[in-house]
Each structure stands twice: as structure tokens, then as C-alpha cells.
Amino acid sequence: MKKNFFSFISVALVICFTGCSQAEDTSPVTTETFSNIWKFHAGVGNHWESASLNDSDWSEVTTDKPLSAYDLKTDEGLGWYRKTITLPDAFYDAMLSKGGVILHLDSIAGADTLYVNGAEVGRFSPAMMTAGKFLERHYFVPSANLKKGDNLVAFKFFDGRSPFGGGLLSGARLSFSTAETKDKLAMDVSVADSDYIFMSPDPIRISANVHNTNTWPVKGDVVVTITTDDHRFLQSDTLPLAVKANSTASKTLDYQALSPGFYRYTVAFVRNNEELLQTKVNVGYEPEKISSPLDTHADFKDFWDNNLKRLAQVKPEYKLTLVPESSNEDYNVYFVEMKSLHNATIRGYYSEPVREGKFPVIVEYMGYGSRPYVSNTKWDGFAHYVPSIRQQGANRLLPEDDFWIAIGLKDKEGYYYQGAFCDVVRALDFVCSRPAIDTSKIAVRGGSQGGALSFVAASLDKRVKVCAPNVPFLSDYRDYFRIVDWPRSEIDNNFIKKNPDADWEQVYDVLTYFDVKNLAQWIECPLLMSIGVQDPTCPPHINFAAYNQVKSEKHWQASPLSGHNISDPQFWITERKFIREKLGLSPE
């Protein structure tokens, strides 16, 4: 009998240890603050996050003074900080029962990656920064990463442009506080379609996945709110969710979109009436059926025909200056100057193959406000030209005049993009003037404004044989300005408010002549458009407004997690393959 009794107790204990959850720790949060003395070293090195590194030759600094006060500076914006902290026994024990700590570090200039005892616990990039503020860091550190007594905190940072010299800002403090239940929860949203673009008859399907690393279960609600891309409310759903200790639980929601377009999902996890987690994600539905009708005036084609005739009457007066420091055995790089509409001088960089023969060319148009750059000099069989349209890039005037989209909006004659779009064509005139160029093999590409200008080039000039716009700008203005604030705000501040007799109807009337959506109907060459589904600057709706007007062969590719900058190398590989194929070139 005793044997059976003890066997029962043993089995019960095994079941409890393997299946029972610890009760939630609701004890008060405790905090430890540490000195503002750090070790600093400029640049980067091998394993500088390691506790075994001897940092005796590092400079000792405090956050009471900037690095410059110690005659220290970063190495091209790069540097490291390290310090050893001692956790009191009582705090360490409290941390163990809570399962970890939150590391708080006051403002750091730039991007950082932070380590505790050699393990990465968090990173921050400038893309997370809001309104130019240097945000405080709050990183969760699991108890397994800490030990009783001494612990090493180290971080590397990069900030090449900070007026503060980078690194820790004045008065920055380091503190640890014991973690609460919410600190050990995380959530991600999975989307049933790999590129986040759904096609009928499939519904839009998303899943909220809540990860609980507490040693106790957590109950709450997943709250999903859906709006159109221009922020019109559609529906909200509340889905109860229980997450076991050290596990993940999910809720899936289907939404049958009523019309083609893009939709904003806000997914939150709410516990005890407090929103603990929130994730936002944009998805698309049947984008090729988005309705953005042409809104051209009767004289639209005549307007552009006349502009091209006037451009043709301007002698280009091409001037090429060799740039030896950028040239190599494959390419001679030239700084190019020429005249365009209204006798404006425009400039750019041209890479011409050194070897004999005639070569295809890629004309790459630049983004809004981009700095000028030398075109490609790594041999790929192409000539390359990166022109700057008037007042931008290599033609930039005073920085305070950088509101080009608002210049001359009183009338289509004299509006900024009248001349700029003619600059796009003049760039094609230039490459066609070069003996080394095969004028039957001209490709255009570019991102953002450069994507819009690629549309413009293919619309206005049949010499373009393939077009590859990326996240294109300048399209479908009425819808565009309902979806995002900029560049509407730029027009409002620099034209509407400065011209009391101006109104938005007049602005939209002028913009119809420069809407890429209206020009795209004239494209006859093959086109490949790339979009970022999460793009907050040139949202996918306006990309497709132009794309859907193209009548020639066309394709699109979507980067589901990208915003206004697509970093997926596969997209550029696909683009280059498309250009080569449509120009009749052999694969690389």
C-alpha cells in the first residue's frame, strides 16, 4: 500500500512539473540604476561585446559630457560603449521570479545593437525614429542572460550625421527593472498569401500569433480593426485568446473584401482593458482591378506634343567632362551637361564602355531630392546614364527651395514638372547621340520619383524599349492625397498658404497634366513594376493606378514587408533579367 501511495505521489509530481504552470508573479516592479561611467572606443572590432575582452585601453567617459569634451570622436559614425554592472542579490532574486528584466537606456543618437554578457538583446534603427527624436531604448533581457554579481552591458552604434557626435546623449542613464507579464509577450501577424496580395475568390486571411514566454498562462483578446487604405473604417472584431505558459496561440480572421484595393489591418492584444501589443499590416486585394479612371482634359495630348516640339527646338549643347577618379578599365565616367526646355541646364553622370562596339543602355532616373551619384562602373554589358532633372541632384539650388512639386502650380504652363518631364526626354536624346549606344536597346528604370519618370519616359518617347519602375511616385493625386499626408502637405505649405486665391480644385486641375496615371496609357513597351506593400510614401494604390492604364505587356512584383525601399536582392535580379530578355540580350 505504501509503495502504491508513493508511486501515486511521484506520478503526480511529474505531471505537475511537466504540465502545471506557475502562478503569475504580481509583486511590485523593482528598479536598479547604475552609474553614468562607460568605456568608449571608436570604430568596430571583433567580439567587442564579449565579457572576456580586455578594455583597459578604452577611454573612460561619462554621459555628463559629449565625446568631444574628451577629444574623442567616432570612426565615420561608428563606435562602442561598454560597462560592467553589479546586480544586488535581492534584485537578482526578484528578477528570477519575474523571468527577466527590462534594460532602460536613455537617448542614443543613431542606430544601435545592444548586448548583455555577449548575447544580443535588442537593436534600433533610424527607421524606428519618430519626428527626429532620439528615442529611449527598452530591451527585454531574459533571466538566463544574467548572473548574480557582475554583468557586462555593451552596445555598438552608428550615426554619421549626428550633431552630438553619436552615442549616448547628455545625461543618459542605464537602469534595470524587473519584467512584468506584458514584457514577456510578443505578437506577429502572418498573412496567408506570400506576397500579401489576394485574388478572388480567396478571402483575405490573416492570423495573429501571440507568444508567451511567461511561466504562467495569459488570457486576453485579439482585436482586429480593418480600414481602407484611405482610413475609412470597415469593421472591428474581438477574438478571445488564451495562451499557455511558454507557448504560442493564434487566432485567424477571414475578410471577404468588397472591392479591389488595399486594406489596413491593426491587430492588437488586449489584457485587462490594456492594449499590450499592436501590429499594423497592409494587404492588397485584386489590385489590377482598382478603378482610377483617367481625368485628362481635351488638350492633354496636344499639350505634350507641343512640349516635345518646343524641346526639339532647344539645341542640347552636350558637354562631357571625364571623371578620372570614377573611371576604370571597363568604363569611362563622364559628368554630362546639356540644355533642356526653357534653356535650363541639366546634368548627370554617364558610364560608357571602354571597349569597341555598340551597347544597350540603362537610363536610371533619380528619386525626389536624391543626391547625384556616379552610374554603374562594374561591367555588365550596358552603358549607364543617371540624369538629374532640373533643380534636383546635380542641378540642386538652395536647400530651402526643395519643394519642387509645389513650384509653379498656378498654371500647367510653367509648372515644375513641365520642364522636368522634358528633361526626362532630353536624357534619352543624349544617349541616342552617343556612337557607342545601340539606340534600339534603351531601358529605363528608377525608384520613387525615378519610377514615375520611368513611366514618363516610356509614355512620351517610343525609343524606350523596356521600362522597370519601382515604387512609382506622382500618380492619382486625388486618391493619393487622401491616403497619405505627404506630398499634399508640401503643396499646402508652399503653394496654397502662400497664394490666398489658390484652391485645391485649381491644383488638381493643373496636376492632371502631370499625373503618371494619365500618361501611362501611351506606353507601348514591356513594363515590370515593383511595389512595397507597406509603402507609406508612394502607397501601392497609386502604383496600380498608373500600372492599370498600361496597355502593353506588363508585369508586377510585390515585396510584402517592404516600405518605400525594396531591399530584397531577388527583386533586382528579376528586374535585370526582365530588361535583358526584353532587349533581346542573352541571360547573364
- Measured CA to CA, the distance from residue 467 to residue 529 in angstroms comes to 8
Residue of 137, 135, 136, 146 whose CA lies nearest to 101: 146
Q: Say whether both 199 and 329 belong to one domain.
A: no
Q: Say whether both 322 and 220 belong to one domain.
A: no
Tens digit of each residue's pLDDT (9 = 90 or more) over 65-84 = 888 889 998 888 899 999 99
Q: What is the full per-residue pLDDT of the chain (588 aa) written as tens digits? A: 444 434 433 434 333 444 457 899 999 999 999 999 999 999 988 999 999 999 999 999 999 888 888 999 888 889 999 999 999 999 999 999 999 999 999 888 778 899 999 999 998 875 544 444 567 889 999 999 999 999 999 999 887 655 456 678 888 899 999 999 999 999 999 999 999 999 999 999 999 999 999 999 999 999 999 999 999 999 999 999 999 999 999 999 999 877 999 999 999 999 999 999 999 999 999 999 999 999 999 999 999 999 999 999 999 999 999 999 999 999 999 999 999 999 999 999 999 999 999 999 999 999 999 999 998 899 999 999 999 999 999 999 766 678 999 999 999 999 999 999 999 999 999 999 999 999 999 999 999 999 999 999 999 999 999 999 999 999 999 999 999 999 999 999 999 999 999 999 999 999 999 999 999 999 999 999 999 999 999 999 999 999 999 999 999 999 999 999 887 888 999 999 999 999 999 998
pLDDT reported for residue 440: 98
Residue of 172, 168, 178 whose CA lies nearest to 140: 178
For residue 483, the domain's CATH number is 3.40.50.1820
DSSP letters of 453-493?
HHHHHHHH-TT--EEEEES--S--HHHHHHH-STTHHHHII
Whether 375 and 427 have beta carbons less than 8 Å apart is answered as no
Q: Say whether both 61 and 119 belong to one domain.
A: yes
Q: Say whether both 416 and 517 belong to one domain.
A: yes
pTM summary value = 0.86
Domain boundary among 132, 148, 179: 179
Q: Say whether both 545 and 439 belong to one domain.
A: yes
Question: Is residue 22 assigned to a domain?
Answer: no
DSSP letters of 312-342?
HTS----EEEE-GGG--SSEEEEEEEEE-GG
3-state secondary structure of 230: coil
**Strands lying side by side in the sheet with 437-447:** 319-322, 331-339, 345-353, 383-388, 359-365, 437-447, 466-470, 527-532, 554-559
For residue 189, the domain's CATH number is 2.60.40.2550
For residue 171, the domain's CATH number is 2.60.120.260
Angle at 250 between CA 246 and CA 251, to 5 degrees: 155
Q: Say whether both 199 and 336 belong to one domain.
A: no
Q: What's the total number of domains in the chain?
A: 3
Question: Is residue 275 assigned to a domain?
Answer: yes
DSSP letters of 196-221?
SEE-TTSPEEEEEEEEE-SSS-EEEE
Domain that holds residue 518: 300-582
Q: Say whether both 167 and 197 belong to one domain.
A: no
Question: Is residue 266 assigned to a domain?
Answer: yes
Characterise 117 by phi-psi region: left (phi > 0), alpha (psi -120 to 50), beta (else). Answer: left
Question: Is residue 10 assigned to a domain?
Answer: no
Tens digit of each residue's pLDDT (9 = 90 or more) over 164-190 = 566 788 888 999 999 999 999 999 999
Whether 101 and 92 have beta carbons less than 8 Å apart is answered as no
Domain boundary among 121, 149, 179: 179
